[in-house]
Structures are given as C-alpha cells and as structure tokens.
Amino acid sequence: TIVVGRKGASVVAEGAIRNTFSFEIPAGGIKGTELIQYTRPLANATYATVLGTRENEPVSYYIPINELENMTISDGDQVIFEIDQTHETILVNIQGAHNGQSRFAIPRNSHLVDVLNRIQVDPNLGDINSVSMRRESIRIRQKQAIQDSLNRLETAILGRTSVTQEGAQIQLAEAQLISDFVDRARDIEPQGILVVAKNGNISNPLLQPNDVIFVPQRTNVIQVSGEVMVPQALVYEPGSTLTDYIERVGGYTTHADEGKHMVLRRNGEVIPVYGRAARNFTIQPGDEIISLPAVPSMSVDIIRMVTDTMFKIASSAAIFVRF
C-alpha cells in the first residue's frame, strides 16, 4: 500500500534556470541559497523577482541574486530568475570592400570613428570616405514609414469618386496600376541605411549593438535605369551632368516623367533631382541615376504620395520600385 500525504508548502521557480519546477519546502520556508541549489540558475542570470504574500498582503521584490541568497522564501512564493545586465562590450559588423576581420568587439561607448581607425581598407579598392551604416532600429522605423505611406495611398485611391461612367473607368484603371505598385512595395525590406559621410566629412555617431559599417567599393561606373530607352552601365566621364548620361542611353521612354529623377550615391544618400536642375547636376563616380515614371493619375495628391513613397523606398532599401 502506498500512502501519499497531503501536499505541503511549496514554491514555484522559473525563468533563467535549469530546473523549472514547483518545489515542496518546509512549512517555515527555506533560504534563498537552498532554492538556488535546487534550481541551478544559468550563468548569466543576475536578478530575481519574488512574488508572494506577507502578513496577508501581496508583495513583490526585484533583487540581485546575491541578495536572494539571504532571503527567506515562503509557502506560495513565485521566484523568477532573470537575465538583466548591461554588457560592457558590443559587437559591430563590417561589410563591403575591406580587408581583415569582419566583426569587432568594442566598448559600449564607442563611436564610428573608433572602429574606422581599426578597419583595413585598400584605398585603391575601397572608399572609406563614402562609408555608411545599417542599423536595426532604423530599419524598423523605415519599414513602418513605408507601410504608413502605402496605407495612405490606398485610402486615397479607394476614396475617390466620379460623376461620369467614363471617369469611373479611368479611375478604375489608375487604381489597378497603383494597387499593383502598392503590393510590390509592401514586400520591400528596408536596410536601415544611415548616411554618415558627405563631401568627405564623416559624422561620428555612437554605435549600437549589431550595427553594420559598410565600406563601398571604388568604381568609375555609372548605372542608368528607370524609364530610359536602354538602361545600362556607363563609364564615368568627369564633368558630365545627369542629362548627359540620360542622352547617352537613348533618352527617356514614353512612360517617363522627364522632370523627376533620383540619384543614389555610394554613401547611401538619395538625392531628388527635379526639372531643369538635371542639366547642371554633376554626377560622381559610382552614382546610380534613376528616371522616374509618370504616375498614372490625374490627382496631384496621389502623384505626390506615390513620388514620396518611391523616395522612401529608395533611401531605405536602395531599390527602385516601378509600375
């Protein structure tokens, strides 16, 4: 015959421990040192939350584990072991045209220039003066900004009305084209590009964990794409303007908005070039010229929203989404 007695006092332990159980304890409780021996916290567990009742009142404590050792754990308590510590070092990653290691462990208060001084770059291959960064927190904000713009665009399209059948058919065709654009744009994943270099000057932001420092490759190639007759890569010619390169690829297509362009630079910068400014805009080695399409809409507001969204996508993901 097996006789099982009434369950006695117990505590529940969970969190960053190896043994997550409900432990039966003496009626008078146990010291924290005993509970630590039973639960075997992970090496990086630093704090404990203790939830329980004392003198018929609920209590909660958030204490370092070394203070838990001297505390009495009572019947009904719940002890949650937690990892709550700030590391003194962070990791940053190096990508692009560089030599040597691709990851650095650095002090938490380090800035960009502190790492740039340690990166090995062949000046004939990599352009350290056009360095840029990729940051996760920026990527998340960019993704949200793009989604918000697309939501507003969809709302504007669906909210339009027409008093004539012909006008309704035109709006329906426009809505289909723009809806297709919105669907493709929603799949774009931003890179979290942070522009830190301009005109040879490099900003010196405080680095965050898992930041990516990108060193672009030196090149004398100019990429021309978008609504041009023959999209292609051309050799850089000093002094040539944006219009010169457009002419070299055969000019614009019939779908182009000849007054709107984007120039993507190696440092991650996206520059809008409108109207006559294209005739005097000097192109730099490694630039990418994008001729924007004419937005298929009679609404000035929708044209503005589409153009704004295109620039947000280009500046965050270095990608051009076309109709």
142 and 67 share a domain?
no
Q: pLDDT by residue (tens digit) across 43-65?
A: 989 999 999 998 888 889 999 99
CB 150 within 8 A of CB 223: no
- The H or E element that residue 11 is part of is strand 10-15
Q: Which of 82, 97, 112 is the last residue of a domain?
A: 82
CB 257 within 8 A of CB 292: yes
CB 64 within 8 A of CB 32: no
Residue-averaged pLDDT of the chain: 90
CA angle, 133 as apex, 131 and 135 as ends, to 5°?
A: 180
Residue % of the chain over a pLDDT of 90? 69
| pTM for the whole structure | 0.73
Q: pLDDT by residue (tens digit) across 207-264?
A: 999 999 999 999 999 999 999 999 999 999 999 999 999 999 999 999 999 999 999 9
Asked if residue 106 belongs to a domain, the reply is: no
Tell me the CB-side half-sphere exposure of residue 257, using CA atoms within 13 A.
20
Asked if residue 97 belongs to a domain, the reply is: no
- Report the pLDDT value the prediction gives residue 163, as an integer from 0 to 100: 60
Q: Which of 51, 67, 82 is the last residue of a domain?
A: 82
Find, among 40, 52, 59, 39, the residue nearest to 9 by Cα.
Answer: 52
Asked if residue 126 belongs to a domain, the reply is: no
Cα torsion at 105, 106, 108, 109 (round to 10°)?
A: -160
259 and 181 share a domain?
yes
181 and 299 share a domain?
yes
72 and 175 share a domain?
no
40 and 164 share a domain?
no
Asked if residue 205 belongs to a domain, the reply is: yes
Tell whether the model's pLDDT for residue 200 goes beyond 90: no
159 and 282 share a domain?
yes
40 and 189 share a domain?
no
CA 299 to chain centre: 32
Q: pLDDT by residue (tens digit) across 126-181?
A: 999 999 999 999 999 999 999 999 999 888 887 777 667 777 777 788 888 888 88
* Distance (Å, whole) CA 177 – CA 180: 5
Q: Which of 82, 101, 119 is the last residue of a domain?
A: 82
Asked if residue 112 belongs to a domain, the reply is: no
287 and 147 share a domain?
yes
As given in the structure block, the two tokens for residue 256 are 């182009």
Asked if residue 118 belongs to a domain, the reply is: no
165 and 46 share a domain?
no
Asked if residue 55 belongs to a domain, the reply is: yes
Domains held by the chain: number: 2
Residue 300, judged by CB atoms within 10 A of its CB (0-12, 13-18, 19+), counts as exposed
58 and 170 share a domain?
no
- Report the pLDDT value the prediction gives residue 1, as an integer from 0 to 100: 66
As given in the structure block, the two tokens for residue 182 are 């919105």
164 and 232 share a domain?
yes
72 and 149 share a domain?
no
Read off the CATH number of the domain in which 55 is found: 3.10.560.10
Asked if residue 111 belongs to a domain, the reply is: no
Q: Could you tell me the residue range of the domain that residue 261 belongs to?
A: 136-317
